[in-house]
Amino acid sequence: MPENVRNLIIVGSGCSGLTAAIYAARANLRPLVIDGHEPGGQLSITTLVENFPGFPEGIQGPELIENMRQQAARFGAEFLAGHVASVDLGQKSADLGKKLIEVNLGRETLLARTLIIASGASARWLGLPNEQALIGHGVSSCATCDGFFFSGKEIAVIGGGDSAMEEALFLTRFASKVTVIHRRHEFRASKIMLDRARKHDQIEFLTDTVVDDVLDVSKKEVTGLRLRNLKTGEQWDLPASAMFLGIGHTPNAQFIGDQLDRDGEGYLIPEGFVGSRAPGVFISGDVADRHYRQAVTAAGTGCMAALEVEKYLEEIGK
């Protein structure tokens, strides 16, 4: 058995991965957390979190995540920056006591007895012809990161869920006007968030409307959006200096390949609450949650996954 085998590797340092790290570290498992391409996950790019229990006045997302990170580190969790290219879940190994899971970071391969996949989900793009070329020049999926750059400008937000409402409300701090563009008439957003946005005098709504393209790539900045009303077919250009996407997320599970079960959109399908068909491999947070996707539910499944790791290691005598 190689000497550098970890008891536990956690892929992902969002709310779920860090909660798993706190529990596992307190159980003396010295977990290694791989940060991934969005360290801190979605909480690190959000603003005020008002629904995480224990904070009557709310807490800023980045502060909450930093607290969790420090809490995990205090008990011995270690962190490594890196992108997981692939994993080998060791499903061919018959002897669980000797089974090793390989985590390939490209530059090196790490070995562990157990793995928690808490790699979350990333913001979706519309797939417009000029969208990618204008990222960083007015196209963004992170209002918190980029809103400041559009002070006094007109901004469009795409989507009809809570993310879009949250972005629109946040962007009113900077923008002269925010137009929410949604492809249907009915909204997916919670009533409280939708009402807040509707009541805001800087926010306007365009429903039954899609974006056909974002302008103007020849100027290397966003000058407007080419829109189309789905009911009338009418097409027109809306002047705007920025387009913020709030259209949901894609699970970060590509590195698993077909080693675990995934649904049609790529979300991992856990066995029981946080188990998988690969012994020693557990799944937590938004990578397996297309339904709730809340910080507190991600934290909850992170806790469950760490407790399952402890139990599994005991069972295989480690």
Active site residues: 142, 145-146
Whole-angstrom Cα distance, residue 115 to residue 312? Answer: 11
Q: Name which position in 39, 161, 239, 266 contacts ligand NAP (CB under 6 A).
A: 161
Between 109 and 190, CB nearer to ligand NAP: 190
**Least spacing, CB of residue 246 vs ligand NAP, in Å:** 6
Q: Name which position in 163, 179, 209, 276 contacts ligand NAP (CB under 6 A).
A: 163
Residues 237-266 interacting with ligand NAP (rule: CB under 6 A): 246-249
As given in the structure block, the two tokens for residue 235 are 């097409």
Whole-angstrom Cα distance, residue 148 to residue 115? Answer: 39
Between 23 and 187, CB nearer to ligand NAP: 187
**Least spacing, CB of residue 159 vs ligand NAP, in Å:** 4
Residue 34: is it exposed, middle or buried by C-beta count within 10 angstroms (0-12/13-18/19+)? buried
Bridge-based pairing of strands 101-104 and 109-117 is: antiparallel
Between 114 and 141, CB nearer to ligand NAP: 141
* Cβ proximity of 22 and 307 under 8 Å: no
Whole-angstrom Cα distance, residue 68 to residue 99? Answer: 31
Mask: binding to ligand NAP, 35-64, rule CB under 6 A, as x and -? ----------------x-------------
CA-based radius of gyration for the chain: 22
Whole-angstrom Cα distance, residue 138 to residue 127? Answer: 15
Between 32 and 298, CB nearer to ligand NAP: 298
**Least spacing, CB of residue 184 vs ligand NAP, in Å:** 4
Identify residue 64 by its one-letter amino acid code.
L
Q: Which residue is nearest to ligand NAP (CB)?
A: 161
Under DSSP, the state recorded for 87 is E
188 binds ligand NAP (CB under 6 A): yes
As given in the structure block, the two tokens for residue 158 are 């795409």
Residues 84-143 interacting with ligand NAP (rule: CB under 6 A): 126
Chain positions contacting ligand NAP, by CB under 6 A = 51, 126, 158-164, 166, 183-184, 188, 190, 246-249, 293
